[in-house]
Each structure stands twice: as structure tokens, then as C-alpha cells.
Amino acid sequence: MVMLSETRTESGKMILNMGPQHPSTHGVLRLLLELEGETVIDCIPDIGFLHTGIEKTMEARNYHQAIVLTDRTDYLSPITNNLSYVLACEKLFGVEKDVPPRAQIIRVILSELSRIGSHLIWLGTHALDLGATTVFMYCWRERERILSIFELTSGVRMMTSYMRIGGVAADVPEGFEEAVEEFVRVMPSKIDDYEALLTRNPIFVDRTKGIGYLSREDALQYGFSGPCLRASGVPFDIRIEQPYCNYQEYDFDVPYSNEGDVYARYLVRIREMRESVKIIRQGLEKLRATRGQDIRIDNPKIAFPKRAKIHTSMESLIHHFKLVSEGPVPPPGEAYAPVESPRGEQGTYVFSDGSNKPWRVRFRPPGFYNLQALPQLVKGRLVADVVACIGSIDIVLGEIDR
């Protein structure tokens, strides 16, 4: 293993710094490549350029205030970060079974929209890294429609902070169902367009098929999760294996492949977008059946009271004031809640010492575990293949560095 400060090994092999400014390393990842000609002999990922100390900052905020910080980790899928954190808090408070069905449905719809939106950015940038510019513009167009739905729902396009302990911040507004219905109506044809450009494109296939192979056994050893794990032949999905938000009530398939290469990871994510459309359609039907129902638990010590109650009940006003100023106070204990984020298992561990602030918050970011396999993916490949391998694992440095 070479030292980070070296530029050449004793045997004369070249040491090349790729990034952190390189666009294909997504801005803040540095790769130290040991090369023999254009062949990669060794690779050392160097992270930490984006470190923000989000977990420690959350420990200085009360349980409600900390929600806004979860958006800033995986900034391409903030809603699943919100969800993982509030699910852990609901376990800590012992109210995970009390969340109203309508709130669970809204959580599912927004999570799947977030999954599609994240996969669109992955697909567009992955294709751009390999020289295909048209796909990037197509994917950006569809993602804008998803962000418009988020803005309609929460008032914010990206950092929504929409989830709440015990439910969601507010009911979906008028026009939400129509906007989502229109999106899922047109999205399958858009995915067809992406596939028409890439799936049988000889240049794209040559750049991805057989590149960055990782076996089933190695994927498990590295702690892979999400599409990367499923592309290596392990059809594990937390929505199926450890259901949350009543995912067991939805009918969908878990795409997987046994090929384990860059092309397989591409196909798995493409198929996942189609499955997410199916889930959203089912969610819309359930949403229509629960109109007018509660979107938060009725527990004044944990969840904010309804606005109507604040205007008519002094007790509700006092509870609202205390929740805003001090936050809820859970019993001492610990909880962990995983969700299936677009990149894999996004887990949140919360430890309570009985105060109004979490004593410890710790994320289990899928990208961090997936990235550690990069040296094995690129070893023996050409420098150009490194770009394809980085894109295929769909890293977001916000969650890796935190």
C-alpha cells in the first residue's frame, strides 16, 4: 500500500491523484491511484473534505429541532433521512404503532418519489460521466417535476424537513393527488426513453458490461446494501424484510441481478424506478380512501396539537409552546431504525439519557459502506473504468462525510 504523500513508488509505478476537484468524483472525493500505464494497480479513497459534524450538531438540539439537520446528509434524498430519524425517535418514545394510517401513506408516497428523483440524478450524472449528455437533460426534466410536488407539499423543493415524530408536518394540499397522478402517468414512458438511449447502446454497454464486478460473497462482506447489493445477486430490501410505514400492504417486486457489474447496477435502478411508480399508484388509492383522517398522533407530550385546538384550548397552547421551546422528552433508552433509501440501508441510532436532547445520534450511511469496495472494483481496470465504477455505486458525499 502506498503512502498518500507519494507521487511514485519504488518500482517506478506512477501515483495519480484523481480529485477531489474532478467532476466524476462528485466534487469532494479524492482517489489515489497507483498506475502501471493506464491500468490501475491499487486505489485508496480519501474522504473527509465535506465533513460538517451533523451528528454532533444534532446532539445539541432537541428532538424536533434535529429533524432539519437530517436533510443535509444525503441531500439527494432528504425525505428518507427524515423518515429514518423520526422512525428511530418513535421507537424511543414507544409510539411507533400509533402513527395514523394516512401519515404512513403520505410517507410512502413521498419516499418513493424521492427514490425516483435520486435515481434520476444518479442516471443523468452516470451517463454524463460516460459521455452521454442527452440523458442528463431528460433526467433533470423529470426530477424538476418531483421537486415541484415537494414544493407544493412542504413549501421547499429540496430540504423539506417534512416528517415529524408521530406523523408528518401537515396534510397534503389541494392539487397534490392530481400532480402525483399526472407524474406517474407519464413517468413509465420517460423511463422507456432512457432505456432507448442507453440499454442497448453499444458504447454504453461496452463501458459498463463486465466492468467493476463484485461477487455476491464480496458484496455481503463489504456490507453492501440497496441496488449495489441486489445487483450482485442478493434480493434483500428492507421494505420487504423489515417493513416500516406499512410497506407490507403494497404489491411490488424487488429487482436484482446476478451479474454484479456496472451494467447490472444500472438495470436494477432502472427497474426500481418502475416499481416505485407502482407503489405510488397504490399509495394514491389509499390516500383517497383516508381523506380527512389524522396525519399525526394525538399525544400532547410528543406531537404538535392541531391548529384548531390551539385556538380553543389553553392546555393545547401550553403544550405547543413547551414542544417548540423545549421539545419532547423520551425515557432513557436507545433505538435504531433502518429504511431503504435510494442507496441502501439508511439507519439512524438514537440514544436517550432522559433529557430533551439526544445524548447520541449516529447514522448508518449506505454510501460509506459501498464506497469501501471501490478499490476492489477498479483493480486491474483502466483509468477510464474508474469513472464508470464510481458512478455505479451512486455515492453522495454528504452522507459519507456527514
| Average of per-residue pLDDT across 91-111 | 95
Residue 1: is its pLDDT beyond 70?
no
Residue 8: is its pLDDT beyond 80?
no
Sign, CA dihedral 189-191-193-195, equals negative
Per-residue pLDDT tens for 346-366? Answer: 999 999 999 999 999 999 999
Q: What are residue 14's DSSP bridge partners?
A: 8, 35
Model confidence at 2, pLDDT cuts 50, 70, 90, reads very low
Residue 48: is its pLDDT beyond 80?
yes
Say which CATH architecture domain 54-366 belongs to. Answer: Orthogonal Bundle (1.10)
Amino acid residing at 12: G
- CA 96 to CA 111: how far, in whole Å? 18
pLDDT value at position 4? 46
pLDDT value at position 78? 92
Per-residue pLDDT tens for 194-228? Answer: 999 999 999 999 999 999 999 999 999 999 999 99
For the CA atoms of 221, 225, 231, 234, the dihedral, rounded to the nearest 10 degrees, stands at 70
Mark 344-361 as b/e (b = at least 16 C-beta within 10 Å).
bbbbbbbbbeeebbbeeb
Per-residue pLDDT tens for 276-295? Answer: 999 999 999 999 999 989 99
Per-residue pLDDT tens for 148-189? Answer: 999 999 999 999 899 999 999 999 999 999 999 999 999 999
Cis peptide bond upstream of 20, omega within 30: yes
Per-residue pLDDT tens for 23-43? Answer: 767 678 899 999 988 999 999
pTM of the predicted model as reported, rounded to 2 decimal places: 0.93
Average pLDDT across the chain, whole number: 91
**What percent of the chain has a predicted confidence (pLDDT) above 90?**
74
- CA 6 to CA 4: how far, in whole Å? 6
